[in-house]
Amino acid sequence: MFDLGTIDGGMLSLVYRPSPWLRVHAGGGTNGAAPGLRGGLSLAPLQQQRGFALSLDAGHFFPGDINGIFSAFAGASYDDSRLLEDFDYDFVNLQAGWEVERSGLMFFVRGGMAFVWAQLPARGLAQLRNLSSLVDPDGSVEAFLPSLRVGLIGFL
């Protein structure tokens, strides 16, 4: 499986399908700043070649400098933050979507919510004057964020 997602970046995974309605996957990839791992399962309750599916995934991205990702979205006015130079995070995605399979190749589009959590380094917290409402005083960050994913699965 190859997919691109808003929370889990680009991933390449192995997929096992023990029954027509259940798929389990695990793999690795990158968020553009660091490598990461993800595992999960998908349920297709209608067991058709096209239709509705649910997926639940969990993963971890290792420390990396995500200032470049933030500056790509914020533009030239973005000022790099030392807090984001060694940033790692964990996530859980719950998504629903549409998929179609033909000749052993499946295309899917999914959307849903992700719960993301991270711990900012203590050394950088003292430099911040106004913490975001997402950042606790101890540096922990927890947020529910929208998540989207599009991908392809090839079955043997």
Q: Is 103 left (phi over 0), alpha (psi -120 to 50) or beta?
A: left
Are the CB atoms for 40 and 58 separated by under 8 Å?
yes
Here the tokens at position 118 are 């991270």
HEC string for 37-55: EEEEEEECCCCCCEEEEEE
Provide the residue type at 13 as one letter.
S
Q: Return the pLDDT at 15.
A: 97
- ∠ CA 11-115-61, nearest 5°, is 40
Query: If pLDDT is split at 50, 70 and 90, which confidence band does 141 have?
Result: confident
Whether this model's pTM surpasses 0.75:
yes
The most distant pair of C-alpha atoms in the chain lies apart, rounded to whole Å, by 57
Q: Count how many domains the chain has.
A: 1
The pair of structure tokens assigned to 24 is 């389990």
Q: Tell me the residue type at 143.
A: A
Mean pLDDT, the chain, integer: 88
State which residues form the domain around 47. Answer: 2-154
129 has a pLDDT exceeding 60: no
CB 44 within 8 A of CB 53: yes
Mean pLDDT of 3-25: 95
pLDDT in tens, 59-110: 999 999 888 887 887 777 777 777 778 889 999 999 999 999 999 999 999 9
119 or 153, which is more confident: 153
